[in-house]
Amino acid sequence: MPFPSPDRLPQSTRFTDTKKNAVTALLNLLIFEDNKGSIVTSGAVTGIVHVLKEGSMVAWENSAAALFSLSVIHEKDFIIASAGAVSPLVLLLSEGTERGKRMATNAMFNLCIYEGNKKRAVRAGVVPMLMELLVEPEGVLKDKAIAILAILSIHLEGRLAIGIAAALPILVEIIETGSPRNKENAVVVLVELCLEDQNYLVEAQELGAMEKMMNLLEHGTDRGKVKAIEVLEKIKELEYFR
């Protein structure tokens, strides 16, 4: 039997509470892995996105949680994004509660793994929202925000958007003070920017990147160390040709 979509409820029952309850019911069904594929193929994603766009805050959060649960099936990420999920998730990053933002970042991370969704996310304005999460005093979503930026940085439009957002000072600060995983992701973004435009490399050097890369070589993750070496090599090349 197909799963009900919240936007296909009879006209007489199209009330906010009914839609919220429908999404909550779907969220409960998503606890069981075997249901996820059927929910996507039944067309319920369109209804979930509809509630994400127009529902109450609780429905908004539950819709984001449902999309996050579905997005772990990476072959379905294109379907979720094609249903229009990306833009309302970006809006939730800006206007949602802490829970809503957490669900949105989790879903966005999974969706952006699919190459075709990177451009969608960038064009929906996700980069400025992620930058805001990086500088929030509590910083509870910093880990996921910098991880998404690392994914987006391998895409041309992602790099351009990150550069426009004046991310370098924040990246260098994370490389200095962040957790090992956050340092790794920050240096991944830094490498991609520096490979894209030598001006970023000059700015990174002025911000003290060389010293921080040397520290990362001693205390970073394996991947972080590899990326730190790339930055140091580029800095040396820059100095050689000056």
Output the pTM of the full model. Answer: 0.88
Q: Considering the domain 125-242 in this protein, what is its CATH number?
A: 1.25.10.10
In this prediction, what percent of the chain has a pLDDT beyond 90?
52
pLDDT digits 0-9 by tens, 181-229: 999 999 999 999 998 888 999 999 899 988 999 999 999 999 999 999 9
pLDDT digits 0-9 by tens, 144-189: 999 999 999 999 999 999 999 999 999 999 999 999 999 999 999 9
Return d(Cα 104, Cα 68) in angstroms, integer.
7
Do 1-124 and 125-242 have matching folds? yes
Q: pLDDT at position 10, please?
A: 44
* Domain range list for the chain: 1-124, 125-242
Neighbours of 8 (CB within 10 A): 14
Mean local confidence (pLDDT), 103-117:
93
**What's the mean per-residue pLDDT of the chain?**
87
pLDDT digits 0-9 by tens, 44-83: 888 888 888 877 788 888 899 988 888 888 777 888 888 8
pLDDT at 100 over 80: yes
The class (CATH top level) of 1-124 is mainly alpha
Q: Tell me which long-range contacts 128-134 makes (C-beta under 8 A, separation of at least 24).
A: 128/161, 128/165, 129/90, 129/93, 129/94, 130/93, 131/165, 131/167, 131/170, 132/94, 133/93, 133/101, 133/105, 134/170, 134/174
Each residue of 166-178: b (16+ CB within 10 Å) or e? ebbebbbebbbeb
pLDDT bucket at 241, cuts 50 / 70 / 90: low
